[in-house]
Amino acid sequence: MNKINQLFSERQDRKLLSLYFCAGCPTLEGTGEIIKTLERRGIDMIEVGIPFSDPLADGPVIQAAGTVALKNGMTLQKLFDQLKAIKNEVHIPLVMMGYLNVIMHYGFEKFFQSCVECGASGAIIPDLPFDDYQKVVKPIADKYDIRVIMMITPETSDERIRFIDDNTDGFIYMVSSASITGAQSNFNEAKVAYFNHINAMNLKNPRMIGFGISNKQTLESAQDNAAGAIIGSKFVALLNETKNPDKAIDLLYEALKK
């Protein structure tokens, strides 16, 4: 069974926590250490960011991390090589998070084959049009048993949400707002109403809520309204600040209690 599906089927008794980091930042060779540390510290799933020069969905923290990673020399091939080196030591799902331009340049067939070879279970491509996903990407991803995770936002129509739910597997990435990534102090009434609306749709796929989660209020709101939460910018900022994944996760856990 794909590790993503296995995670959601086995952990229905508690809420999940997934973290994002940008591979190659703060150091080129730190990918393996970060992943192994996060698994050891109780993280359920990891989004491994593929650095890109023009990440449209990302806020300043993740954009800056991508810039550092590219300057450090991180490439998609180098990232796959790093992941392959730790494949047998990692047991939680890894989800590759990257933009279409980089993956197309690498080649879809080669990309999904490399995901299998390095132990990744899924991919998130924020700027992948859904029609292209269905016609071009999904058949290749299915061939390699890789889950392509699609995003929904408060602007996504109910019709499109149900279409995504019917044509994807793994989980749905529920973006908390229509803005870019970045920490927020709270989720306002409009966001909570959006969460309630999606809950009422009774979708078949589990959902993870991301964008803006950085403290107790936003974490609990996300976990109350989905299978779990995804944290990106807050952890990336702490990792850049400490240059140490253990210290960064300590500080993150502290922040999530406030």
Question: The domain spanning residue 148 has which CATH number?
Answer: 3.20.20.70
Q: Is the predicted pLDDT of residue 61 greater than 80, yes or no? A: yes
Express each pLDDT in 181-224 by its tens digit.
444 555 778 888 999 999 999 999 999 999 989 899 999 999 99
Specify the pLDDT at position 36: 98
Whether residue 159 is contained in a domain is answered as yes
Q: Is the predicted pLDDT of residue 16 greater than 60, yes or no? A: yes
Specify the pLDDT at position 178: 57
Confidence of residue 179 (pLDDT cuts 50, 70, 90): low
Whether residue 130 is contained in a domain is answered as yes
Dist. CA 182–CA 134, nearest whole Å: 30
Closest C-alpha to 82, from 52, 49, 109: 49
Specify the pLDDT at position 258: 85
The active-site residue, picked from 39, 44, 58, 165, is 58
Whether residue 41 is contained in a domain is answered as yes
Whether residue 191 is contained in a domain is answered as yes
Express each pLDDT in 62-99 by its tens digit.
999 999 999 999 999 999 999 999 999 999 999 999 99
Express each pLDDT in 35-53 by its tens digit.
999 999 999 999 999 999 8
Whether residue 35 is contained in a domain is answered as yes
Q: How many CB atoms lie within 10 A of CB 119?
A: 18
**Whether residue 47 lies in the annotated active site:** yes
Q: Is the predicted pLDDT of residue 180 greater than 50, yes or no? A: no
Specify the pLDDT at position 152: 95
Whether residue 160 is contained in a domain is answered as yes
Q: Is the predicted pLDDT of residue 171 greater than 50, yes or no? A: yes
Residue with tokens 């989905």: 226
Q: Is the predicted pLDDT of residue 233 greater than 90, yes or no? A: yes
**Whether residue 39 lies in the annotated active site:** no
Q: Is the predicted pLDDT of residue 102 greater than 90, yes or no? A: yes
Total of domains in the chain = 1
**Neighbouring C-alpha atoms within 13 Å toward the C-beta of 146:** 30
Specify the pLDDT at position 189: 83
The active-site residue, picked from 13, 39, 44, 47, is 47
Domain hosting residue 96, numbered range: 16-257
Dist. CA 240–CA 119, nearest whole Å: 26
Dist. CA 157–CA 63, nearest whole Å: 28
Q: Is the predicted pLDDT of residue 242 greater than 70, yes or no? A: yes
Whether residue 10 is contained in a domain is answered as no
Specify the pLDDT at position 237: 96
Whether residue 8 is contained in a domain is answered as no
Give yes or no for a contact between 58 and 66, defined as CB atoms under 8 angstroms apart.
yes
